[in-house]
Structure 1
């Protein structure tokens, strides 16, 4: 954070306690905001000799995207009549490898898979989930090679990314198709139907017969 951002942040949240989030791969110990003139302002652990070192490996804004996706998707699904709670999944990387939603009303399972697995592991997980949950809607992280498999199977793939807006991260869904640039649209402009997640672009492509239902 810059000095001005830090000053504004502390003015708004300075009386709060801050912790190294375990859902971000952190250690759960207290943090203190540090203001500098010649260095980047940041949060730091309190000095406490003898404590184990924190092993959190990522500190960028996107390291919390699984939490933003969980929160925003929960509200979005509620607006579509699905009162459900997201579940964070670990697939071998961190707490935020995937965010799952079970939608009993439509017998559907929605997964935002943010860290790709190798194909064999993913295929095994997909078969297991399919047998247990029924229809699965997959939304992949950017650059996920599994999206290419989705594209080959059904003619399109859904991607997810977040962009910073103030103190929030807004969720965008991308529609990937052959020969077209990925179209990114806000999650709140998409629809959750009994056939799956439909972006405005996907709805248009289906209506024009470019992508099958």
Structure 2
């Protein structure tokens, strides 16, 4: 891991280097100090397309997937805007699904808003602790399937302490401060999956990242 941290501080990593580094992170093979050092190196110079794509690819490889129908989309929150707003993305899900578009929604408990997707679902009496088969059936029958991020991206537990640090003391990398479903790492497999990444990501970067990743995966 140390050579990769040094390389990241010198300039953008190649796709292979970045995938190796994120492999260490998501497999729990890096120490907290190494995780922080690596992410700080990325943050200091700005993350590259290859690094975003590598993070998404490694997250996809470690996720618990769900087979969503063609045309399903994911409406992801900003995942760290720090505005303490209401859960806008979850409210939007009901509007979109009501219009006939199937939604495969990633979510978690609140991080930067007043409530997270799981908090809203719990308040409505919806059980989010279900397996992929139940979610797949819900998307087909009800038009909405909610995927609890921690269940579908269990590898994120290795970087959660870094990711959840307050922005002022944890300015490490946008890669892991965003929602686990962001950066095209949604665990629902669909030919027309839309994953809205955090608004802080420049559009050209998102376009380039999307072009370098297979869909469906």
Q: TM-score, normalised by structure 1?
A: 0.30
Higher strand share: 1
Q: TM-score, normalised by structure 2?
A: 0.29
Indicate the structure (1 or 2) with the bigger Cα radius of gyration: 1
Structure of greater relative contact order (alpha carbons < 8 Å, 6+ residues apart): 2
